Amino acid sequence: MENIVTFPPLRDLKSMITLPIKWLSVDLEYCRDELDRKFCVTEIAFYDIYAKHEVFRTYVKPKDNFLLSRRMQEKGISINDINSSPTMEELDQLLRTFLPSCILVFWNAENDLRHYPKLKTYSYGTRCAMKRYSERHGPYNFDWGTHKFLKLKDVAIEEGFVLEENERFHQALTDARATGYIWDILDKETLPSPIPLDLVLREDVEKLLLESQTLIADFKEEEKEDPIPF
């Protein structure tokens, strides 16, 4: 006798909502702790690759005491900007709510996930634009048998990425936008062209119908001109 699978009562089944997967490019910026022993996340930004708009950006207050780098000071970031920002714990509460339906695209996924590994846990999946681009366009290293990784700024400039007014590289939103720009280019280079939904193109059907109607009309005219002799 076959095993009979018993389903639970309907009242015990929980409803679910499925969401479309979004592709977000993400960039993290860092500072060092005051002992100069580790990097701390101080800025993060998410950019919708295909809708082409900012999703979220914020400074982050590190848990440890930190030092502002020269680069951060040149960008006009102050200690007060960082101290008045959400903590990593507060950021976690937000990201775990909307990242499960997102695939995150980093420029250097290995480095960023090493400093913020929870992003891989929260998101639907992660991708590395640097590896994808370098495997296709990076110079080949014969000694190691691999392609050399390239810097985001160099690739973005090479591919025609345009900075907006008062924008510079090594800002989270700018680098996220540049990463999304390059990923979109790679899609166009490598993904197959979309297949038409119709098995037969509409214009081909209309052409065939027109030709058949013409043939039928011609045949009827011939019958009128040459009637059957019996």
Q: Which of 46-50, 79-83, 140-144 has the highest mean pLDDT?
A: 46-50
Query: Closest by alpha carbon to 181, among 152, 139, 148?
Result: 152
Tokens 């509409």 — which residue?
202
Q: How far is CA 27 from CA 16, 64, 169, 209, in A?
A: 31, 21, 11, 55
Q: How remote is the C-alpha of 81 from its chain's centroid? A: 29
Arithmetic mean of pLDDT, 2-27: 74
Percent of the chain with pLDDT over 70: 79
Q: Which is higher by pLDDT, 128 or 32? A: 128
Record the pTM. 0.75
Is residue 26 classed as helix, strand or coil in its secondary structure?
A: strand
Half-sphere exposure of 222 (CA within 13 A, CB side): 6
Residue 86 makes CB contacts below 8 A (sequence gap 6+) with 58, 60, 61, 94
pLDDT for res 230 = 47
| Cβ-based neighbour number of residue 65 at 10 Å | 9
∠ CA 82-89-69, nearest 5°, is 30
Whether 104 has a pLDDT exceeding 80, the answer reads yes
pLDDT for res 196 = 60
Over the chain, what is the mean pLDDT?
A: 84
Arithmetic mean of pLDDT, 5-20: 67
Tokens 């993400």 — which residue?
26
Token pair listed for 164? 């907006």
Token pair listed for 107? 């420029």
Q: How many helices (H) and strands (E) does the chain have?
A: 9, 8
CATH topology for the 22-190 domain: Nucleotidyltransferase; domain 5 (3.30.420)
